[in-house]
């Protein structure tokens, strides 16, 4: 099984797609993660203060 771990800086909510000024890239990325989950991929989101890294195992 494939697992994707996303290390992401903390945001106002888990997806980062809330508030008045939403970044379209965040909306697209959140939708892509949802699609991966629907395909059986395990997606782990880890919020980290100073790191943005995507690791696929």
Question: From CA 33, how far away is CA 25, in angstroms rounded?
Answer: 12
Task: Please give the Cα distance from 47 to 14 (Å, whole number).
Answer: 9
Percent of the chain residues topping a pLDDT of 90: 28
| Residue of 7 and 53 predicted with greater confidence | 7
Architecture per CATH, domain 3-56, reads as 3-Layer(aba) Sandwich (3.40)
Global pTM?
Answer: 0.67
| Better-predicted residue by pLDDT, 47 or 17 | 47
Domain ranges of the chain: 3-56
Tokens of 1: 């099984």
Q: What is the pLDDT of residues 16-42, one digit of tens each?
A: 666 677 778 888 888 999 999 999 999
């Amino acid at each position: 099984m494939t697992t994707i771990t996303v290390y992401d800086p903390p945001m106002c909510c888990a997806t980062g797609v809330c508030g008045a000024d939403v970044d379209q890239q965040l909306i697209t990325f959140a939708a892509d993660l949802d699609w991966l989950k629907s395909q059986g991929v395990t997606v782990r989101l880890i919020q980290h203060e100073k790191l943005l890294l995507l690791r696929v195992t």
